[in-house]
Structure 1
């Protein structure tokens, strides 16, 4: 497992490799087969809700390793984990050493009881387990040199920022326009700035920090668009009959390989189009959405009466990216999305990532950097793309 994590780049330092050796994962995943507990890319689901959806997991080693590298926990530090499970708190405790302090907090009494039992059995009695809504942090043990959030956060509560010690670091999987990235954040003046970011996925936060977004049904709910931060505009889009219009197909002449991540492309679309959302559809809608031999991705953009989504068609050299669209303004929307696919290919493919910053909720617009601003309940998030020059990519189809 550790060798695989190093090859993936999830583990880069000897200290993080050693903490994986020192804390046996299977102690914290009772009932899971060993090959599942130690699968580098797999999370282990520990609790489900009434609909069978996971609400408590032990994160994958790949994600744990990446976030521990982001946190850079040193001996003697005070650290807070938001979202308990046991194994991550044990690893944090090993990294802080006997002179350090680790607090782990969760809103679910079943989760905290299990974490307490497993930590004690594994010899990590000094980890403090707190049952509380982490929206308020854990003020009685503040301040913290490191705060690691291990549930999907839609917002950044002021308490998390206030409880950071000077020079502290917050590592949080933050959901922005339906896309979640683990941000390594440090204080700069009155706000936080990102030093690194990586694509990830987590179960959603419960309690005061929960946010379910908005669902827009299409064709009697057999397809739907999901919007993370409310409707794209002042009024709810009207797309119920859109799939009954003629589909518009547009192709970008940009090729991708089978294992290439489209994370930055999705982020580029999300920061360019105010109507960015995620498309979900029943299997019987696939013939309407794509032709045989094509695939569609859940990245979508909506106007009040039209919507479009990212697709790919396979060929001998890989897959060509394109856009399918429905509605009265399908052609214009498809062409605009294709243009952004080409911008991603020419300027941002393979990096650089945009810069993320977390600002107080009352920050005036003229104090924010250029780029997209997402207003949450308790903060403002700015996402700014660095300037780049056009660069040819070998996967492009000759024009």
Structure 2
């Protein structure tokens, strides 16, 4: 008998799930998204693409490793899905230096190359981003890199379609049909799609979709500060990603311009969600946080933002994904709060769990917050926002 699976959401996570399902015999896959086929209005469309493998949670280390392995082998229309340019983590104080030492020891424990280097060597690797006068220690992580989320999503979609998956764009989900405590279908516009399984991979819109099945997803949509420089010469060699964990700041050179993100501002909750995972730039504290972040750069290489992005992302009370069965409803699965860093690995692990195979994603079980009130979960999530940019999950 054919197993009918409906994946809700065609961003990088939902598309990766569809691609993994396409590898399974006897599985019919339909991916539904209200967006058009040529747009990516969710987090995938504006993700900076920072991929940091090292993490305080071992499960996320493995998902990141798996994701990088998949991304390295993807390309679309001549563009690579992943550039393994490495990353630098910089310390500006003794306490920060001690933290980098702990990080290096943790990396060795899990088999990830990481080297404490002299500040002068960090400057040599990223001279336009590292201020020799401002740092006391640096950690080099050569396996980290930059993912092109839109390229990866397009490449995975091609693979999924080649395996028989069908994509329905421009179609809003209006109902999830249950029979008792089991999924039996999804209403999409005027069409009913029979389903043995439904995977919710809708990013910031996930809670509204899960609510159709009577499920509360503990996700909080927050606005995140990210800015771009004007265009620069692309003749320089690729630079590693740079992170300042003490200051909750990260930066990359994507070859044509710089991008800088900071969460060193009070969390701004996006209570009213639009059709895009982006809100108008709020100014005020966001401007202050960006100005402070830019002062971390060498004085001669500081720049003024030419573009401001108030991207909306979903966070959980422990900053980790909601990955696995939504046990209150048989056949309903969550692939939520997953960033580019872990997307492909998470999809592979989820599909393994769906087919009853061993999958070490228990720490990410969506039911781990059962018993807590929505108000408490919201408070805990926003309290963790400030260090979101650099510790420990990556983007």
Question: Is the shorter-chain TM-score for this pair beyond 0.5, marking a shared fold?
Answer: no
Name whichever structure is richer in strand by fraction: 1
Higher alpha-carbon Rg? 1
Q: What TM-score bracket applies, with the shorter chain setting the length?
A: under 0.3
Q: Which has the higher contact order (CA 8 A, sep 6+)?
A: 2
TM-score normalised according to structure 2 size: 0.24
